[in-house]
Amino acid sequence: MAPNSVGCTRLPRQRGSRYDLRKRERFIELRAQGWSYNRIAKSISVSKPTLLKWNVELRGQIAEMRSIRLDELRDKFQLLADSRLENYGREIQKIHRELKRRNYADVPTERLPDILIKLYTSLRKEDLFAKEQAASERQPETWLDLMKRSYENQELTGT
């Protein structure tokens, strides 16, 4: 073996060596993470043409690693979404408990019809109001229209 420019004997690279395998495994990981060939080349000290060749050879493994990584990310973000949903639910429950504790004595009279209309509208959106009225054979708009008219009359008369 001939010495190199520094005077050391350079061993020839063997295909399939542990060195080569480690770099290929790292290449698969980095490609699965979406790294560019140039960035990988700098990171693992392998030429871009070699990386392009590896990409063709290892396409299936890269796709599998990318799929695993995406599944992990989906699981992670789903857990975060579940956690946020639970937090929102707890806050909503706190507000409901507080509202149940209060009465409407502190609410100005002119605001009560607005609150009532919003409640009926919410019921209607959930289809609970329509089912209740159908069961008692009332027209679906009767209560809501009555409340709206009552409110409009109050605005006109100033009461």
pTM to 2 decimals?
0.43
Q: Tens digit of pLDDT for each residue in 109-146?
A: 888 888 888 888 877 777 654 555 555 555 555 666 66
Residue 45 has a pLDDT of 93
DSSP-assigned letters across all residues of the chain: --B-TTSPBPPPP-TT-HHHHHHHHHHHHHHHTT--HHHHHHHHT--HHHHHHHHHHTHHHHHHHHHHHHHHHHHHHHHHHHHHHHHHHHHHHHHHHHHHH--GGGS-GGGHHHHHHHHHHHHHHTTHHHHHHHHTT--TTHHHHHHHHHHHHHHHHT-
Taking the domains of the chain in order of start, what are their residue ranges? 14-102, 105-159
